[in-house]
Amino acid sequence: MVKNVTKQDTLREVEKKTYMSYHQDGLIDIIIGLYALAFGLGIVADKIWDFSFAVLMPGILIAIVLPIWIQAKRKITLPRIGYVNIGTKGSNKLFALLLGLSVAGLGVFFLFTMMTFQNGRPEWIETILFHYGMIWIGLGATVIGSLFAYTMGLKRLHGYGLLTLALFVSGYFLSVPFEYLLLVVGSVIIASGAVLLSQFIRRYPLPKGAPDNAAQ
């Protein structure tokens, strides 16, 4: 350890282990899964009641799920592994990624709007985008999953991205409706999060005794 402490990589490893310990509870997986599931249910509801649930869903979910996530962290995770203030390094990277994705999304949206209003979109773009839409969504999920996996150091997000790609590519060839694939992806990710959560609860039982965890 003494020799390793001189290496920057060792400190990065400790930093990573600290950050990972905070996300090993599976709560982030449950939130991601809930998003996919709710979005799929929104589309199903759209088709049944002809109301734009799918458009409203992201906003509704942020209002409901975010406070639940914060409370779950406070009530489940922190009493078990203890309190840690990681600082802003990790959240800055995540914020930069979210900002980058938003700018890229807005850029693509702007480009398409311009093309539509000027000459209309070229036919080949229409074909590539709309005919192979499911494959694009799968590829997008893999890329976004990998970016988040890299930024947050959570390798399982690569897996979720690849699962989405596999399901959407198969769905394209088997003509499975988009919303059903979302329901499957969401359910699988929630189930994986639930398994991680139950493992976390078993590995870190609530400490017995006084609420003050300071044994000093």
Partner 1 sequence: MPPSDADIQNIDRLIHEPSRLAIMMQLYVVESADFQFLEHQTGMTPGNLSSHLRKLEDAGYVEVTKEFVDRTPHTALKLTREGREAFIAYRRSVKRFIDKLPE
- Contact segment (CB under 8 A) with partner 1 among 34-42, 61-69, 80-88, 93-101 equals 80-88
132-168 CB burial, b ≥16 within 10 A, e <16 = eebbebbbebbebbebbbebbbbebbeebbebbbebb
Q: What residue type is assigned to position 123 of the chain?
A: E
Residue 95 binds to partner 1 (criterion: CB under 8 A):
no
Residue 205 binds to partner 1 (criterion: CB under 8 A):
no
Residue from 68, 86, 106, 111 binding partner 1 (CB under 8 A): 86
Residue from 87, 117, 205, 208 binding partner 1 (CB under 8 A): 87
CA distances to 53, 56, 121, 186 from 48, in Å: 11, 16, 31, 20
Determine the 3-state secondary structure of 177 from DSSP: coil
- Closest approach, Cβ 194 to partner 1, in A, equals 22
- Contact segment (CB under 8 A) with partner 1 among 4-12, 26-34, 109-117, 157-165 equals 4-12
Q: How far apart are CA 176 and CA 119, in angstroms?
A: 33
17 to 36: interface string for partner 1, x by CB under 8 A: xx--x---------------
Nearer to partner 1, 21 or 146 (CB): 21
Q: How far apart are CA 76 and CA 28, in angstroms?
A: 13
At 179, list the tokens: 């919303």
At 149, list the tokens: 């996996």
Determine the 3-state secondary structure of 17 from DSSP: helix
- Contact segment (CB under 8 A) with partner 1 among 16-24, 105-113, 118-126, 183-191 equals 16-24
Residue 69 binds to partner 1 (criterion: CB under 8 A):
no
List interacting residues with partner 1 (CB under 8 A): 1-3, 5-6, 10-11, 14-15, 17-18, 21, 74, 78, 81-87, 204, 207, 211-216
